[in-house]
Amino acid sequence: MTLDRKALICLSSIVLVGGLVQLTAVSQVTIFGVPADLSPLLAASVGLLAGSLVGAVFGFSIGLFMDIVLLQTLGISSLVLTGAGYAAGRLRELRDPSHGLLPLAVGAAATALTALAFSLMQFLIGVQAPVSLMLVREVLLVVALNAVLALPLHALVRRVLEPYLPDDPRRRRRRAYTTGGLSPISRA
């Protein structure tokens, strides 16, 4: 998918607004003791809607933005979210993304894999952090919370990116069945 200037501005604004909303509002509200994490959901949504390359670049961008703003080790979030955006985009390219609950499953999987990969990367660079069952509990709660937020956030991202998206496979399939000349029944 080739992107024009307006699409790049739109994706950049999603990175900026999504990152700022995550930092200022969503991270301050805890449910069951954990805050939601919009970054993997945004990367997965853009990947599902626009493809693997755009999803990977978007994941890298939002990860770099979060690393810079939070003064974390540069590149860890970028690497992890690049993988999440790319994987969601490849799923879109290899399978029919027409099921309505697919964003929920992809958002939950992206959140789980992102949390585990981020923890692994922190361990590999030598960050001393206690590992216990509390970490597993927090990861599972964040995955459940993000699964609840995945559908509305995906709908919002879809609405914003709608003018720049390629043809929807559901719309193509519907068009093929509704045109008069393709049905063998209509010839009789």
The CATH number assigned to the domain holding 105 equals 1.10.1760
In a domain, 63, yes or no: yes
The first and second tokens of residue 32, run together, are 């069951």
Q: Is residue 122 situated within a structural domain?
A: yes
Q: Estimate the crossing angle of helix 5-24 against helix 133-161, to 10 degrees.
A: 140
How crowded is the C-beta side of 17, counted as CA atoms within 13 Å? 10
Q: Does residue 149 lie within any of the structural domains?
A: yes
Q: What is the pLDDT of residue 168?
A: 55
Count how many domains the chain has: 1
The one-digit pLDDT tens for each residue of the chain (188 residues) are: 667 888 889 999 999 999 999 999 988 888 888 998 999 999 999 999 988 999 999 999 999 999 999 988 888 999 999 999 999 999 988 887 777 788 999 999 999 999 999 888 888 888 777 777 888 888 899 999 999 999 999 999 999 998 887 665 555 444 444 555 555 565 55
pTM above 0.95, yes or no: no
Q: Please indicate, yes or no, if residue 145 is contained in any of the structural domains.
A: yes
What pLDDT is attached to residue 187? 52
Residue 111 lies inside a defined structural domain of this protein: yes
User: Is 64 domain-assigned?
Assistant: yes
> Per the domain annotation, does 174 fall within a domain?
no
Domain span at residue 39 reads 5-167
Q: Is residue 173 situated within a structural domain?
A: no
CB 2 within 8 A of CB 54: no
Residue 34 structure tokens:
């954990």
- The pLDDT, as a whole number, for residue 166 is 64
- Quickly count helices (H) and strands (E) in the chain: 7, 2
Both ends of the chain: CA-CA distance in Å?
41
Alpha helices in 26-75 (DSSP H): 38-50, 52-70
